[in-house]
Amino acid sequence: MQVPEQVKAVMDRLSAAGHDCYLVGGCVRDWLLGRRPHDYDLATDATPQQVMDLFEKTAPTGLRHGTVMVLLPGGQVEVTTFRREGRYSDSRHPDEVQFVQTVEEDLARRDFTINAMAWNPGRGLVDPFGGRRDLEQGLIRAVGDPVQRFEEDALRMVRAFRFAARLGFTIEPATRNAVDVCQDRIRFVAVERLVPEWMEILRTDPLRIQDMTGLFAPWIPELEQAAQTPQHSPYHYAGVLRHILDSIRYLDPFDETAALALLLHDLGKPETRTTSPGGRDHFKGHPVAGQAIARRVVEALKLPARQKKVIPELVLHHDDILPRNLETIYRLRVTEGWSDEWVQLLFRVQYCDIMAHSEKGRQRLERLEASRAFYEEQIRFRPLSLQELAIDGHDILTYTGLRNRQVRQALETVLEYAFHHPEKNNRLDLLTFVLRSMPRLEGAGS
């Protein structure tokens, strides 16, 4: 294995001092897969204090769990003492950590066999649980008893699907069955730990979500309902959940906000489904129902403020192809305050949604592309904010008798005028318009 110089320097120093030291975990896995590792973690029999005594600059980033960060001119290297872990009463943190002497004991506490391998130049690969074999066979297998592994840290259940999605692997039967046994424990995991794992699955292989809806249930129970909801319609080829996940597969390049909006966009369908006498399903009002669900979910997932604002709006409007008229653009961009980023996200969500329909359902794509082209052409030369006007509040104060709220009202009136008449967006024409509108503006501000 080719090892970065700063990592090799730490390994050499520990070895020269008489300590065992190994590369462990993901870097060994990626090396065996022929991929370039992103991180290099070291495990050693040296205690944290011994590590700190050997190096001039260190940071005690996790002494309770035996981790020390060694700071070198070429970067930083994380070094952790071999350890065994006690009970996980909170399904997240070990109640106690005991330092041990061998790398095999350390590897026995890890989650999956493909992550429970170690390497150093002297011994080569240390693989007590068959991780290399599982890599070759494309299997995600828990180390030891999978139920015990998941009871220790319930996040590992989601990580199993994340590794399977990322690597294109299968979760071996005993490990998969243990997920069903333990999935209720997922409620003990902080949602801040779950969201990045879910996003990686959505990015790499969203169809995996079909097999793990129970792991979303405390936050998005509607996914399980969507899995049970068919769509008997000439516009669809699959049930609600499969349609949702297929729509995310069309998201290229991937965008987290759009992916979350797509994950939620049709979750209002189960509660609005009706079936006509001919057997055709209808979902009237599902965007409104979906928006209510989205508002709850974005709060439950503790998403950033920007996503909390935009995702429910994208869900509400995902079925609305924008009419090709200026009034719609003005309403969205000025009256409702949508940014161009929001509008472009809506176009992307709508494209992915349409592409995950049947051939008949995809006929709306032509309308969507025409709507996008009209929007992008029109916003090139029309002012969409007060800052883009050729006059400002100082001009209003100087050339009119308007004051206080009347000034703002005047500028907003000017913006609407200039938006519809962009050729008039110059000082002379806009001031002329303001003076001509004075009686109405004075009355509005009184």
Q: Is the pLDDT of residue 443 over 70?
A: no
Domain formed by 220-378, architecture: Orthogonal Bundle (1.10)
Q: Is the pLDDT of residue 95 over 90?
A: no
Which tens digit of pLDDT belongs to each residue from 317-353? 999 999 999 999 999 999 999 999 999 999 999 999 9
Q: Is the pLDDT of residue 72 over 70?
A: yes
So what's the pLDDT on residue 28? Answer: 96
Nearest to 84 by CA among 65, 57, 58, 70: 65
Predicted confidence band of residue 91 (pLDDT cuts 50, 70, 90)? low
Predicted confidence band of residue 75 (pLDDT cuts 50, 70, 90)? confident
Q: Is the pLDDT of residue 110 over 90?
A: yes
So what's the pLDDT on residue 185? Answer: 96
Predicted confidence band of residue 94 (pLDDT cuts 50, 70, 90)? low
Q: Is the pLDDT of residue 70 over 70?
A: yes
Task: Tell me, letter by letter, the H, E, C secondary structure of the chain.
Answer: CCCCHHHHHHHHHHHHCCCCEEEECHHHHHHHCCCCCCCCEEEECCCHHHHHHHCCCEEEEEHHHCEEEEEECCEEEEEEECEEECCCCCCCCCCCEEECCCHHHHHCCCCEHHHCCEEECCCEEECCCCHHHHHHHCEECECCCHHHHHHHCCHHHHHHHHHHHHHCCEECHHHHHHHHHHHHHHHHCCHHHHHHHHHHHHHHCHHHHHHCHHHCCCCCCHHHHHHCCCCCCCCCCCCHHHHHHHHHHCCCCCCHHHHHHHHHCCCCHHHHCEECCCCCEECCCHHHHHHHHHHHHHHHCCCCHHHHHHHHHHHHHCCCCCCCCHHHHHHHHHHCCCCHHHHHHHHHHHHHHHHCCCCCHHHHHHHHHHHHHHHHHHCCCCCCCHHHCCCCHHHHHHHCCCCCHHHHHHHHHHHHHHHHCHHHCCHHHHHHHHHHCHHHHHHHHC
So what's the pLDDT on residue 129? Answer: 97
Q: What is the CATH superfamily name and number for domain 5-137?
A: Beta Polymerase, domain 2 (3.30.460.10)
Question: What percent of the chain has a predicted confidence (pLDDT) above 70?
Answer: 97
Predicted confidence band of residue 441 (pLDDT cuts 50, 70, 90)? confident
Q: Is the pLDDT of residue 446 over 60?
A: no
For residue 44, which phi and psi values (nearest 5 degrees)?
-145, 160
Residue 365 CA, distance from chain mean position: 26
Question: What percent of the chain has a predicted confidence (pLDDT) above 90?
Answer: 87
So what's the pLDDT on residue 182? Answer: 97
Which tens digit of pLDDT belongs to each residue from 277-319? 999 999 999 999 999 999 999 999 999 999 999 999 999 999 9
Domain locations in the chain as residue ranges = 5-137, 220-378, 386-445
So what's the pLDDT on residue 425? Answer: 97
Instruction: Assess whether the region 5-137 and the region 220-378 belong to the same CATH fold.
Output: no
Count of CB atoms situated within 10 Å of the CB of 159: 20
Which tens digit of pLDDT belongs to each residue from 161-220? 999 999 999 999 999 999 999 999 999 999 999 999 999 999 999 999 999 999 999 999
So what's the pLDDT on residue 86? Answer: 59
Residues 374, 371: Cα–Cα separation, whole Å: 5
Question: Position 302: which residue type?
Answer: K
Residues 237, 178: Cα–Cα separation, whole Å: 32
Question: Position 210: which residue type?
Answer: Q
Q: Is the pLDDT of residue 5 over 60?
A: yes
So what's the pLDDT on residue 74? Answer: 78
- CB contact at 8 A, 206 and 243: no
Q: Is the pLDDT of residue 90 over 70?
A: no
Residues forming a β-bridge with 72: 75
Predicted confidence band of residue 89 (pLDDT cuts 50, 70, 90)? low
Which tens digit of pLDDT belongs to each residue from 124-154? 999 999 999 999 999 999 999 999 999 999 9
How many C-alpha atoms does 247 have within 13 Å on its Cβ side? 30
* Parallel, antiparallel or unpaired: strands 58-62 and 97-99: unpaired
Q: Is the pLDDT of residue 358 over 90?
A: yes
Residues 103, 434: Cα–Cα separation, whole Å: 79
User: Average per-residue pLDDT in the chain?
Assistant: 94
Predicted confidence band of residue 38 (pLDDT cuts 50, 70, 90)? confident
Nearest to 90 by CA among 173, 19, 185, 180: 185
Residues 28, 5: Cα–Cα separation, whole Å: 17
Residues forming a β-bridge with 120: 124
